[in-house]
Amino acid sequence: MWKRWAAILAFLAAVLPQARADAVADFYKGKVIRIVVGFASGGGYDLYARLLARHFGKHIPGNPTLVVQNMTGAGGLRAANYIYAAAPKDGTTIGTFSRDMPLLAVMGTNAAVQFDPLRFTWLGSSSSFRDDAYLLMVRADAPATTIAQARQTGGPPLVLSGSNEGAPGNDVPMILRDTLGLNLKVVSGYTDSGAMFLAMERGEVNGRTVDLSTVRTFRSDWLKPNGAMRVLLQFARVTRHPDFPDVPTARELAPTGAARALIELTEFPYAMARPFMAPPDVPPDRVQALQAAFIATHEDPQYLEEAAKLKLDVSPVTGADVVRTIERIAGASPDVVDHLKKLLAGSKGGG
């Protein structure tokens, strides 16, 4: 009798996964999956989403079509709330928004946040920032073109462009001002990365904070030696990026242990630098299919070839890795989190 049951169990073990895969393929065949992007077209998040859209479908059972929908507002918060609460929960909508949104939710300082970051269905992140850096970049004619000059008080501040609370372009300068004593001011309200690039070029602002990969893609001439722009600092790096051996990291400039702890907390989100997620409560078999397809896409030679042409950092992590990053953020020291809350609350209004 036991041999008969063993045979039945072996048969079920072989058949059930295939049955689930067939059900997923049947569901997705002829379907359209929307990728909701929390920013306007032409920026880094949009670029990663459109690249994913061109290759993702062939790795999903049933080979659905992918389309990108830009949903701007509040630095990606509008898109985050939509994906969490209003988007279909059947696996036909995924999205991407600012890497800092989970940190914003954990802090609890913004009443407009309507999501629990741990309840999203995380697919993974296209970048873990392994080969990237978040740069403080200024014009060559800015009031300060070195860190030593930027630390001087009494003179005019470096005026940087920003978007909204919760976006790195707003929050990271406030962290640098608090921890390193940099003389910075942020002008908020720019709609997207393209608008911030133009503001720098026109001299409306002295500079901005921005991903190295984004600069490589959209303004590669800025990285030329003795060009029109200067890189003062690297953020979200444990060590200096090999392309900038003479530019210090925020961590190495931290004057105290408390300052370093605050910097490290705000650098956690970069381990999920280009996150993709679906709403909560998507059927488990579709979740497994989407998560597997996400990683398979980032191993696809055609995807990697196109990413290389676009000069994008591709260092993917899984959905489980993203969850672990958010858990690290949620488990940060209450004293450090409270300091960050007070700091960012005090920066509202363009600080």
Residue 115 and residue 32 share a domain: yes
| Residue 11 belongs to a domain | yes
pLDDT value of residue 10: 54
Quick check: is 349 in a domain? Answer: no
Q: What is the pLDDT of residues 240-293, one digit of tens each?
A: 999 999 999 999 999 999 999 999 999 999 999 999 999 999 999 999 999 999
Q: How far apart are CA 254 and CA 188, in angstroms?
A: 26
Alpha carbon distance 124, 324 (integer Å) = 11
Residue 37 reports pLDDT greater than 60: yes
Return all residues near 212 (Cβ < 8 A) that are at least 6 apart.
132, 133, 134, 135, 241, 243, 313
Whole-angstrom distance, CA of residue 43 vs CA of residue 23? 36
What is the reported pLDDT for 351? 34
pLDDT at 5: 54
Tens of pLDDT along 107-151?
888 899 999 999 999 999 999 999 999 999 999 999 999 999 999
Does 310 reside within a domain? yes
Instruction: Say if residue 9 is in the same domain as residue 32.
Output: yes
The percentage of residues in the chain with a pLDDT greater than 70, rounded to a whole number, is 92
Residue at 303 is within a domain: yes
Do 61 and 88 lie in a common domain? yes
Average pLDDT of the chain?
Answer: 91
Yes or no: say if 325 and 272 are a contact pair by the CB < 8 Å rule.
yes
Alpha-carbon distance of 41 to 191, in angstroms, equals 11
Residue 321 included in any domain: yes
Say what the pTM is. Answer: 0.87
Instruction: Name residue 120's amino acid.
Output: F
Which CA distances in Å does 177 have to 114, 152, 182, 249, 264? 29, 11, 4, 14, 15
Tell me: pLDDT of 1 over 60: no
- Do 68 and 82 lie in one domain? The reply is yes
Do 149 and 26 fall within a single domain?
A: no
- pLDDT band of residue 346 (cuts 50, 70, 90) is low
Q: Do residues 187 and 350 make contact, with C-beta atoms less than 8 angstroms apart?
A: yes
How does DSSP assign 37-65, residue by residue?
Answer: ESS-TTSHHHHHHHHHHHHGGGGSTT--E
- Asked if 185 and 221 sit in the same domain, the reply is yes
Instruction: Dump strand ranges (E) for 174-221.
Output: 184-187, 207-211
Whether 138 and 258 map to the same domain: the answer is yes
Q: Does 243 reside within a domain?
A: yes
Mean pLDDT for the stretch of residues 54-64: 98
pLDDT of residue 74: 83
In angstroms, the CA 184 to CA 157 distance is: 5
Domain count, the chain: 2
CATH number at residue 195: 3.40.190.10
- What are the E-state strand segments in the chain? 32-37, 65-70, 93-96, 121-125, 134-139, 158-161, 184-187, 207-211, 229-235, 275-278, 317-318
Hey, which residues does 327 pair with through a beta bridge?
A: none
On whether the CB atoms of residues 251 and 237 are closer than 8 A, the answer is yes
Asked if residue 338 has pLDDT above 80, the reply is yes
Q: Provide the residue range defining the domain that includes 55.
A: 2-128+270-334
